[in-house]
A and B are shown apart, each in its own frame.
Chain A
């Protein structure tokens, strides 16, 4: 069964304190791995897509990496406005459609 597990469930950081979020996955065949940011009461906002092991992408203070079994979202010198829930999702080749399979998310709180 295709599955995505995110850890930790919640993470509290001080402003400027760098850290990483983990996303481990098991899929029959990986078409792509996606990271989204979700603010309370809003829809997910797209951050990155990774397609193959070894790939990395960066955007401002965020950097996403991918291995054959997991992905990391590294947050460098976070600011309070980075506080949100970060969702990881995979698109698997063995399913009928192309829907995303999501993890439960990591809720990040950054205090000043």
Chain B
């Protein structure tokens, strides 16, 4: 069964350092999402891609966060510099297309900022 892959699974960093997360969506899925989930809360969207184009990044803190999907396949989310409040689970999801298509989530990257 096809799955969304993410790495690393865990990341511990000190504040002011740079971190990067990688996501490989299910093959053939054109839409890719990055969500952030704080403990005890539901996931919240950071950025949505359709192929290589950004569809919605209204909730992405652009002063420190960046995301790219250069070839319309895998994607990287970067934080520079990391802050204590960035500690959370970063989830990647993909769907075949836009609309009410099912979004399939990866295992997530647990980030701890010290």
Contacts and interface: CB of A to CB of B under 8 A. Distances in A.
Given A42-B107, A43-B105, A44-B105, A97 B55 contact: yes
Interface stretch (B13-21, B42-50, B76-84): B42-50
B56 A96 contact: yes
Contact of A99 (B40, B56, B99): B56
Contact of B98 (A46, A51, A98): A98
B99 A31 contact: yes
Given A41-B110, A42-B108, A43-B108, A98 B102 contact: no
A100 to B, nearest CB: 6
A4 B6 CA distance: 27
B31 interface: yes
A21 B48 CA distance: 29
A100 B105 contact: no
Interface of A: 4, 31-32, 34, 36, 41-46, 49, 51, 87, 89, 91, 95-100, 102-105
A-B complex: 3 closest residue pairs judged by Cβ atoms: A102-B42, A97-B56, A32-B100
